[in-house]
C-alpha cells in the first residue's frame, strides 16, 4: 500500500513533485550523484541508494547510512520494502494469465470471486479485472482512521491483517463511484487481483510471481514476505519523520498491493524488461500501457503509472512505479523511449503523517529523478 492506503497515486506524485525544481539538480560533475547525495546532506534522509542508466551505461551508488546506529554505509546491495512497486509484478501475472486464455480483462470480479465483493452500493457484476488493474473500479481502501492503530498506537508491529479482512473492512463503506465512472487509487483492488490469481492457478500468488517473473529474470535478491515483520539479509533501516525505526513492520496488510522486498538493481531489471515488452505478448503489453488520466501529474496503466516530470525543456512523461510504506519510499522510472532509467530508494516515510493527510517525506526526491531522466 501507499502509506495508509488513502494516498492516491496522483497525490503521491504530488508529494514527489511538490516544492522542488528540476534545476536544483544541476551540480558540478555528476548531477545525479550530487542530487542523490543532497537528499542525505540536506534533504533529511539517513540514506539514499540509486541505480541509474543512460543508454547501456549503468551506475550504482549510495549515500548516508543503511543503519545510522551502526554507521553501516548504504549501498545498492541493500534491500528495502518496495511497497506499491509490487503492483507491477502482480499485474504482469494477471496479464500473462490473460494471454494464456485463463482470464479475460472483461471478466467481472463476481464471476471470478463470487460472493466476495459485498457491501452497500457495490455492483460486483459490473467491476471488471481491467478496472481493478487501472484503479477505475470504485473499490477503495479501508476508510476507518483506526485501521493502523495495531501498529502505530498499540505498538504491535507484528500484527497480522489477512487479505480477506482488509477486503472486508474496505467494503463496509460505499464505493467511491460506480464502476468505470471515475479514477481512484485502490490497494484493495490489488488484493482482489491476488485472490483471482490464486483461484485461477490454484497456486500461492508468491509462487506465480517467482516462477513467471523472478526466476526468468534472475532476481535473486527479491522476495515476497507474507507475515514476518523482519527484513532478510543486508537491508536499509526505515524511519518516520521523528527518527523512530520502522524497519520491523508486518507486510501482511499489503500483500499483493505492496508487500515485496527488493534491491535497486533487481527492480531496475524488472521494470526494464516489463516496459520493453519482454514479459508480455503484444496484446497484453498494449493493455499494460493503456492509460487512464489521474490528474495533472500523470496517469495509470495496468499496474504501472506515468508521471509528468518537469524538465528544463518542458514536461517529460516517465513510466514506472512509485512506492511508499512505513519507513521507505522508492521511485522506479524510465523515459518513454527507455534510454534513461532511475531506481531510487529512500528510508524515511511517515505512515502516521500519511494517515493524518500530512506530508510524510522530509523533502522531495524530484531533483534526483529529474537529473537522471530530463
3-state DSSP of the chain: CCCCCCCCHHHHHHHHHCCCCHHHHCCCCCHHHHHHHHHHHCCCCCEEEEEEEECCEEEEEEEEEEECCCCEECCCCCEEECHHHHHHHHHHHHHHHHHCCCCCCCCEHHHHCCCCCCCCCCCHHHCEHHHHHHCCCCCCCCCCCCCCHHHHCCCCCCCCCCHHHHHHHHCCCCCCCCCCCCCCCCHHHHHHHHHHHHHHHCCCHHHHHHHHHHHHHCCCCCECCCCCCCCCCCECCCECCCCCECCCCCCCCCHHHHCCEECHHHHHHHHHHHHCCCCCCHHHHHHHCCCEECCCCEEECCCCEEEEECCCCCCEEEEEEEEEECCEEEEEEEECCCCEEEEEEECECCHHHHHCCCCCCCCCCHHHHHHHHC
- What is the pLDDT, as a whole number, of residue 29? 79
Does 89 fall in a domain? yes
Does 220 fall in a domain? yes
The answer to whether the CB of 47 falls within 8 A of the CB of 76 is no
pLDDT digits (tens, 9 = 90+) for 216-262: 999 999 999 999 999 999 999 999 999 999 999 999 999 999 999 99
We report the CATH number of the domain holding residue 304 as 3.40.710.10
Does 25 fall in a domain? no
Does 131 fall in a domain? yes
Comparing C-alpha atoms, which of 251, 266, 279, 271 is closest to residue 220?
A: 266
Spans of the chain, pLDDT less than 50: 1-11, 18-28
Does 213 fall in a domain? yes
pLDDT digits (tens, 9 = 90+) for 59-82: 999 999 999 999 999 999 999 999
- What is the pLDDT, as a whole number, of residue 3? 40
C-alpha cell of residue 72: 553501516
φ/ψ of 353, rounded to 5, equals: -65, -40
- What is the pLDDT, as a whole number, of residue 22? 38
- What is the pLDDT, as a whole number, of residue 295? 85
CA distance 134 to 126: 15
CA distance 112 to 197: 9
| Full domain range(s) for residue 155 | 31-373
Does 59 fall in a domain? yes
CA distance 177 to 210: 35
CA distance 64 to 255: 30
- What is the pLDDT, as a whole number, of residue 15? 55
CA distance 281 to 100: 10
The count of domains in the chain is: 1
Does 24 fall in a domain? no
Does 16 fall in a domain? no
Amino acid at each position: 500500500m501507499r502509506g495508509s492506503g488513502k494516498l492516491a497515486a496522483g497525490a503521491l506524485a504530488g508529494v514527489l513533485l511538490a516544492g522542488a525544481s528540476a534545476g536544483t539538480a544541476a551540480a558540478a560533475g555528476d548531477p545525479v550523484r550530487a542530487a542523490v547525495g543532497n537528499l542525505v546532506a540536506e534533504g533529511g534522509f539517513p540514506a539514499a541508494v540509486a541505480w541509474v542508466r543512460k543508454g547501456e551505461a549503468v551506475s550504482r551508488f549510495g549515500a548516508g547510512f543503511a543503519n545510522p546506529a551502526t554507521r553501516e554505509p548504504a549501498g545498492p546491495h541493500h534491500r528495502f520494502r518496495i511497497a506499491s512497486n509490487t503492483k507491477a509484478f502482480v499485474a504482469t501475472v494477471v496479464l500473462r494469465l490473460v494471454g494464456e486464455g485463463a482470464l479475460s480483462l472483461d471478466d467481472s470480479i463476481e464471476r471470478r470471486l463470487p460472493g466476495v465483493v459485498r457491501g452497500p452500493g457495490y455492483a460486483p457484476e459490473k467491476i471488471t479485472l481491467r478496472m481493478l488493474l487501472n484503479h477505475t473500479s470504485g473499490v477503495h481502501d479501508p476508510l476507518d482512521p483506526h485501521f493502523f492503530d495495531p501498529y502505530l498506537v498499540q505498538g504491535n508491529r507484528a500484527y497480522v491483517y489477512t487479505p480477506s479482512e482488509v477486503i472486508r473492512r474496505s467494503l463496509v463503506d460505499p464505493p467511491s463511484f460506480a464502476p468505470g465512472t471515475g479514477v481512484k487509487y485502490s490497494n484493495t483492488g490489488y488484493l482482489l487481483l491476488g485472490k483471482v490469481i490464486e483461484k485461477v492457478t490454484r497456486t500461492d500468488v508468491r509462487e506465480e510471481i517467482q516462477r513467471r517473473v523472478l526466476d526468468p529474470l534472475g532476481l535473486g535478491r527479491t522476495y515476497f514476505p507474507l507475515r514476518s515483520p523482519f527484513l532478510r539479509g543486508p537491508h536499509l533501516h526505515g524511519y518516520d519523520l521523528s527518527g523512530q525505526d520502522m524497519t520491523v513492520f508486518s507486510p501482511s496488510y499489503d500483500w499483493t498491493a505492496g508487500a515485496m522486498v527488493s534491491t535497486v538493481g533487481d527492480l531496475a531489471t524488472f521494470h526494464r524488461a516489463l516496459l520493453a515488452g519482454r514479459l508480455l505478448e503484444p496484446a497484453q503489453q498494449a493493455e499494460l500501457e493503456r492509460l487512464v488520466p489521474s490528474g495533472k501529474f500523470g496517469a495509470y496503466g495496468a499496474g504501472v503509472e506515468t508521471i509528468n516530470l518537469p524538465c528544463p525543456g518542458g514536461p517529460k512523461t516517465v513510466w514506472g512505479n512509485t512506492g511508499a510504506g512505513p519507513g521507505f519510499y522508492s521511485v522506479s522510472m524510465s523515459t518513454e523511449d527507455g534510454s534513461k532509467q532511475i531506481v531510487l530508494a529512500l528510508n524515511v516515510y511517515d505512515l502516521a503523517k500519511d494517515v493524518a493527510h500530512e506530508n510524510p517525506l522530509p523533502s522531495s526526491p524530484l531533483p534526483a529523478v529529474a537529473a537522471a531522466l530530463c
